[in-house]
Structure 1
Amino acid sequence: MPCYETTIADPAVLKQRPIYGPFKRAKRRTLRAFGRWSRADYDVRFVFEGERIAYKKILFNHAATAARVMRNLERFGPSEHLPKCHRADGRALWMDYIEGRPFDRLVSPCSQEVARCFTEFAARHSYRRPIGQTGLWGAHRGNLTRLVESGLLGDDLHDAILARSTACRPATLRIGFDYRDPIAPNLVARADTGRICAIDVKNWHADTLVGQGLAKTTDRWLDAPGCARVLDIMSDHGLNDVAEGFEFIRLYERIDRLRRCTDTELKTHGRIRKRRAKRARLAALA
């Protein structure tokens, strides 16, 4: 995906407006000052050309993060399912402002559009590897061990989840691009084409396990029949290995997300929050 410069000689003259309101920004600053803000530090601003919102300017905490996102977008190439980057400037990326409406599975042609989006994400530039060459089985076992060490996972439940993971472990996994946070607010049905656009580009990853994002949708808004239809369509496009390995992919995604959440909470708050709910989620995976 090439980086297109804006037509404005001096982008600094363009009017900008924070996407978050003053109360939310003040709350984040306060939490960050006391070391209680656990999310990555970044800011998002609307940029106007006249009265029209032309760009979404994303300010990352580090230039290296912006460069990583930019490289991933360039490697993947143009897609109607991703916003276009118009300008890279240090730790800032100037992205297309995508006009449309937030994705709503209750009123959208859910399965068809979700399948179209995730099939393109999974198919382009991806490849299959024996699971032993990916490092993911070791990472999965390490995540389970870490949850035991943190006190969130007991030995019996650890053994049960590990046994289920072993039983469904596929011979190969697909590695490539994946959109890891496809919660409904991060997906926009484009006004121009109706296609789904993944607007939260910081969660666009390369050289990762394909299918993690789809697995997360099943924990948030995509029901089992809808997921099965998406996987069927992906299989029709030569991605049957994603469907065949999806039970393991789902287990890997859930455990990895819980481990990262637990580590973050212990570092930020000194304790695991909603411990009972997390244990119930783990028990449901056994």
Structure 2
Amino acid sequence: MPGMTGYEQARPANPLWRRLLRQWRRWRGGVMAKTHTVQIVERDGQRFKRVGFESVEEADRVAACLRELVALDRFPRLLAATGSTLEVAYVAGPLARRGRASDHQAVADFFADLYCAQPLRAVSAADTAMAQTLASDLAILAKAGLIDARAAERLDGLANQWQPELVWLGHEYIDPIARNFVIRDGRAMAIDIEALWRDQPLGQGLAKAALRWLEQPVDAVLREVGERAGIELAPQYPWVQLCFTAAYFRQKLAQKKSGHIRIEALTALGRNQDSEP
């Protein structure tokens, strides 16, 4: 960090048991989603986080996102960028908890702020990677026996019905599990900077949060975005949710994380409603 020259102490950000679990999954042949390193560093009486990426390009991507969203004050402040390493401010505070209702509201507010406080652009839904990989994602799930051919065909047809002509793209926080948020003064701060991506179909982060733990109604968040920013995300959300869920379960299958696959969350989509989103 600029202006710091003293002795530093660094320790891994993740606990030993989590690091050992990742090593075990790698030994079993699982595909690792995260290959970066994260350290908590103390130097000259100050604490910050150091994140090492696999490439300079990946570090540059995250650094650019942090700079573009600095006014939002929902992510750690970027302190330094050197090659494939970023240093960001340490965000102190308790992690979000599933059992604390106020944390669910804080994370819902986070997504409303994120979707409202950035310039968005509309593109053809058919041209997105999400649209182009859905069929293969469903085929992989079917080959693994998680869904049958009839379910795969129904979901593919549902996606065709739900796919909007245009989708809104913007910055998205794609790994919004509870431990990736710190609650500070009632506000959710996203601390997993590697999960910040630009030019993503909006709604993926919200869909993952709802799938994994968030109990706050998604419709309320989408409605707030429409009221505050004049951007209607509700028409694209069912399609984004379907495509995301299929891709997410395919990823967990490759990572050998079967405990994260709740296939009924995918197969139930569209069951209790009209085919129109």
Whether 2:203 is the aligned partner of 1:222: answer: no
Whether 2:109 is the aligned partner of 1:116: answer: yes
Whether 2:251 is the aligned partner of 1:251: answer: no
Counterpart residue type for residue 3 of structure 2 = T
Deviations 1:41-85 (A, max 9, x none): 222211113555x20111223333222211222233433111111
Counterpart residue type for residue 258 of structure 1 = F
SS in 2 for 1:237: helix
Give 1:176's match in structure 2, choosing from 167, 170, 183.
170
Shift of 1:176: 1.0
Change beyond 3 A, Cα 1:175–1:83 = same
Contact 2:172–2:202 at 8 Å: present in 1 too?
yes
Change beyond 3 A, Cα 1:23–1:110 = closer
TM score, norm. by length of structure 2: 0.83
Contact 1:127–1:175 at 8 Å: present in 2 too?
yes
Q: Take 2:165 and 2:253, find their aligned partners in 1: how far apart are those partners?
A: 29
Query: What's the % identity of the aligned pairs?
Result: 23
Q: Take 1:58 and 1:135, find their aligned partners in 2: how far apart are those partners?
A: 27
Counterpart residue type for residue 100 of structure 2 = V
Contact 2:182–2:191 at 8 Å: present in 1 too?
yes
Shift of 1:274: 6.2
Q: Take 2:109 and 2:265, find their aligned partners in 1: how far apart are those partners?
A: 30
Give 2:183's match in structure 1, choosing from 161, 186, 189.
189
Contact 1:76–1:125 at 8 Å: present in 2 too?
no
Whether 2:2 is the aligned partner of 1:6: answer: yes
Whether 2:160 is the aligned partner of 1:166: answer: yes
Counterpart residue type for residue 170 of structure 2 = G
Moved more, 133-142 or 229-238: 133-142
Contact 2:110–2:188 at 8 Å: present in 1 too?
yes
Match of 1:90 in 2: 83
Shift of 1:34: 7.1
Shift of 1:87: 1.1
Q: Take 2:212 and 2:24, find their aligned partners in 1: how far apart are those partners?
A: 29
Structure 2 gaps of 5+ residues are 272-277
Counterpart residue type for residue 259 of structure 1 = R
Structure 1 gaps of 5+ residues are 266-271
Contact 2:225–2:232 at 8 Å: present in 1 too?
no
Whether 2:234 is the aligned partner of 1:234: answer: no
SS in 1 for 2:88: strand
Counterpart residue type for residue 147 of structure 1 = L
Deviations 1:205-261 (A, max 9, x none): 0111111000111112223x6222222211212355212222112111101111222
Contact 1:83–1:97 at 8 Å: present in 2 too?
yes
Whether 2:149 is the aligned partner of 1:155: answer: yes
Alpha-carbon RMSD:
2.9
Whether 2:202 is the aligned partner of 1:210: answer: yes
Change beyond 3 A, Cα 1:32–1:245 = closer
Moved more, 137-146 or 86-95: 137-146
Match of 2:120 in 1: 126
SS in 1 for 2:32: coil
Contact 1:115–1:233 at 8 Å: present in 2 too?
no
Q: Take 2:107 and 2:28, find their aligned partners in 1: how far apart are those partners?
A: 40
Give 1:69's match in structure 2, choosing from 62, 65, 75.
62
Contact 1:78–1:84 at 8 Å: present in 2 too?
no
SS in 2 for 1:242: coil
Match of 1:268 in 2: none
Match of 1:269 in 2: none
Change beyond 3 A, Cα 1:216–1:207 = same
Moved more, 168-177 or 237-246: 237-246
Q: Take 2:243 and 2:99, find their aligned partners in 1: how far apart are those partners?
A: 28
Contact 1:28–1:37 at 8 Å: present in 2 too?
no
Q: Take 1:33 and 1:144, find their aligned partners in 2: how far apart are those partners?
A: 27
Counterpart residue type for residue 78 of structure 1 = A
Give 1:201's match in structure 2, choosing from 193, 202, 210.
193
Shift of 1:36: 4.9
Change beyond 3 A, Cα 1:261–1:32 = closer
Counterpart residue type for residue 243 of structure 2 = Y
